[in-house]
């Protein structure tokens, strides 16, 4: 079992030190209650508030990620449609080389952006393995 990190702040006299990532044990809660009646209940309420806040923040993070992804798809489609459509239009009115270059540049930039995004996402997953 890995050693647990202690709080960087020192505990007041009479209060046991607890690791940052762990809730006090029942014995430690009894010690808190002996020093200040009602403190154990306040600690539990604060932990519940923190958990509720964390859940809300994670929900907002997921929602904003979905929204960002959807906007990226919509704008990518619009840019691609305008670029390729513009190139086809230029080709149709007689600017063959310019139209082909315009369409090709749009297509290449969209494909390279997709590949870069896929690689970044894949590298991000490797960087943060599952904890447990």
Domain assignment present for 11: no
Nearest-CA neighbor of 40 among 17, 53, 23? 23
* Predicted confidence (pLDDT) at residue 116 exceeds the cutoff of 80: yes
Q: What is the pLDDT of residues 23-52, one digit of tens each?
A: 788 888 888 888 889 888 898 898 899 999
Domain assignment present for 16: no
Domain assignment present for 6: no
Domain assignment present for 69: yes
Q: What is the pLDDT of residues 97-111, one digit of tens each?
A: 999 999 999 999 988
pLDDT of residue 114: 84
CA distance 114 to 39: 54
pLDDT of residue 3: 42
Provide the number of structural domains found in the chain.
1
Rounded to the nearest integer, the mean pLDDT of the chain is 81
* Predicted confidence (pLDDT) at residue 54 exceeds the cutoff of 60: yes
DSSP labels for 44-97?
HHHHHHHHHHHHHHHHHHHHHHHHHHHHHHHHHHHHHHHHHHHHHHHHHTT-HH
Domain assignment present for 115: yes
* Predicted confidence (pLDDT) at residue 94 exceeds the cutoff of 50: yes
The residue segments making up the domain with residue 90 are 26-126
Domain assignment present for 5: no
pLDDT of residue 36: 87
Q: State pTM to two decimals.
A: 0.57
């Amino acid at each position: 079992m890995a050693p647990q990190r202690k709080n960087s702040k020192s505990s007041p006299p009479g209060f046991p030190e607890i690791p940052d990532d762990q809730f006090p044990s029942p014995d430690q809660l009894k010690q808190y209650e002996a020093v200040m009646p009602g403190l154990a209940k306040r600690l539990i309420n604060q932990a519940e508030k923190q958990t509720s806040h964390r859940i809300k923040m994670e929900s907002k993070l997921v929602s904003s990620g979905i929204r960002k992804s959807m906007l990226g798809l919509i704008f990518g489609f619009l840019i691609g449609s305008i670029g390729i459509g513009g190139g086809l239009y230029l080709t149709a009115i007689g600017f063959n080389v310019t139209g082909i270059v315009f369409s090709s540049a749009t297509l290449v930039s969209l494909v390279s952006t997709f590949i870069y995004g896929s690689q970044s996402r894949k590298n991000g997953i490797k960087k943060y393995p599952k904890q447990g």
